[in-house]
């Protein structure tokens, strides 16, 4: 890049290019090694009174792509953006790909052309040291292929433990997303879980003491002065017995609460379900129950925290 010194009575010339480089040539040239925005300063007198500044933007003429994130962890959302200098508005085509297969990432853009746009939206599903994201871009008939590698870290989160007659399973939860359930031997939370008795606000509750207020109760959990209980299906009510609302009419085989994420999980013949804690006084809820998985025959549930 060439710089023209248009001062009329300069004594000396001192250029600062904004990237750490300097020059004392009257009208110099300079090569920028990275695209970006730079502040150019020219000083033409010893007393530093005659100074001019200008901000310039340097574009990379070779197409590339980037992501604003500095670190990557599983199940967080990321956007990769193509960076293309195209001042003449040439036709551009994009083709994103995941060279290691698509089992380590899920593209979240639901449009038909989700892999043929200037931006790629995805999340990673497992930790990797060299997860590859690639872009093939064609500008005015000229093809460029770019590939970047990323280290994907694991992270601690809660997990739902599920016991069937044959096997115990574990499924980690990441907000509204979850990994595939898998067999586990980390079952301490399952061993300790039971829903037939509980101490809440220094008061002991049991199925027996609650049966007159909640007929047919088989199991329960209490949180925020509400009781979630198994009877003919799954119910919620205020702890004083008022406003009983049926959440699920199907036979409930197991249930547990995640008090950190404010969720209730329960199992029936269709699989394992979840719902946010209900906060209204009359126990009306807006969010519909969501299916976590279709694992059959779950007879016991528990939540395990902060394990990878």
pLDDT (tens digit, 0 to 9) for every residue of the chain, 308 residues total? 778 888 776 678 888 999 999 998 888 888 777 777 889 998 887 766 778 889 887 766 789 999 988 899 999 999 999 988 887 888 999 999 999 887 899 999 988 888 999 999 999 999 999 999 999 999 989 899 999 999 999 999 999 999 999 999 999 999 999 999 999 998 999 999 999 999 999 999 999 999 999 999 999 999 999 999 999 999 999 999 999 999 999 999 999 999 999 999 999 999 999 999 999 999 999 999 999 999 999 999 999 987 66
Q: Is residue 297 part of a domain?
A: yes
User: Domain end: 58, 90, 110, which one?
Assistant: 58
Cβ contacts of 42-45, under 8 Å, gap ≥ 24: 42/3, 42/5, 42/7, 42/13, 42/14, 42/15, 42/16, 43/13, 43/14, 44/5, 44/7, 44/9, 44/10, 44/11, 44/12, 44/13, 44/14, 45/10, 45/11, 45/12
pLDDT, residue 28, reads 84
Q: Is residue 9 part of a domain?
A: no
pLDDT, residue 102, reads 75
Tokens of 89: 């508005």
Q: Is residue 192 part of a domain?
A: yes
Count: domains in the chain: 3
- Are both 302 and 162 inside the same structural domain? yes
> Which among 136, 37, 148, 138 has a CA at the least distance from the CA of 95?
136
- Are both 174 and 273 inside the same structural domain? yes
- Are both 188 and 230 inside the same structural domain? yes
Separation between Cα atoms, residue 20 and residue 16, nearest integer Å: 7
Q: Is residue 1 part of a domain?
A: no
pLDDT, residue 99, reads 92
User: Domain end: 153, 179, 202, which one?
Assistant: 153
pLDDT, residue 32, reads 79
Q: Is residue 129 part of a domain?
A: yes
**3-state SS, residue 67:** strand
pLDDT, residue 240, reads 94
- Are both 193 and 286 inside the same structural domain? yes
pLDDT, residue 10, reads 67
pLDDT, residue 308, reads 64
- Are both 302 and 163 inside the same structural domain? yes
SS (H, E, C) 124-142: ECCCEEEEEEEEEEEECCE
pLDDT, residue 9, reads 67
Q: Domain of 29? A: 14-58
User: Domain end: 153, 185, 214, which one?
Assistant: 153
Cβ burial, residue 63 (10 Å; 0-12/13-18/19+): buried
């Amino acid at each position: 890049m060439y710089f023209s010194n248009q001062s009329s009575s300069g004594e000396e010339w001192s250029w600062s290019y904004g990237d750490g480089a300097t020059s004392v040539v009257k009208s110099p040239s300079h090569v920028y090694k990275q695209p970006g925005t730079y502040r150019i300063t020219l000083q033409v007198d010893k007393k530093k009174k005659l100074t001019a500044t200008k901000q310039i933007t340097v574009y990379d003429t070779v197409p590339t792509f980037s992501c604003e994130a500095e670190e990557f962890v599983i199940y967080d959302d990321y956007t990769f953006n193509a960076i293309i200098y195209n001042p003449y508005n040439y036709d551009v085509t994009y083709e994103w790909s995941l060279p290691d297969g698509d089992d380590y990432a899920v593209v979240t853009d639901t449009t038909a052309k989700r892999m043929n746009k200037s931006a790629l939206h995805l999340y990673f599903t497992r930790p990797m040291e060299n997860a590859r994201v690639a872009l093939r871009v064609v500008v005015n008939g000229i093809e460029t292929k770019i590939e970047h590698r990323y280290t994907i870290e694991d992270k601690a989160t809660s997990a739902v433990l599920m016991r069937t007659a044959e096997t115990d399973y574990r499924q980690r939860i990441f907000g509204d997303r979850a990994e595939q359930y898998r067999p586990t031997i980390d079952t301490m939370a399952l061993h300790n879980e039971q829903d037939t008795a509980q101490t809440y606000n220094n008061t002991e509750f049991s199925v027996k003491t609650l049966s007159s207020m909640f007929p047919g109760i088989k199991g329960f959990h209490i949180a925020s002065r509400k009781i979630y209980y198994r009877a003919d299906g799954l119910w919620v009510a205020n702890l004083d017995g008022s406003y009983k609302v049926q959440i699920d009419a199907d036979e409930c085989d197991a249930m547990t609460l995640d008090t950190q994420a404010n969720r209730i999980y329960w199992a029936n013949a269709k699989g394992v379900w979840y719902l946010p804690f209900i906060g209204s006084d009359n126990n009306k809820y807006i969010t519909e129950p969501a299916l976590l998985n279709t694992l059959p025959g779950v007879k016991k549930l528990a939540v395990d925290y902060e394990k990878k």
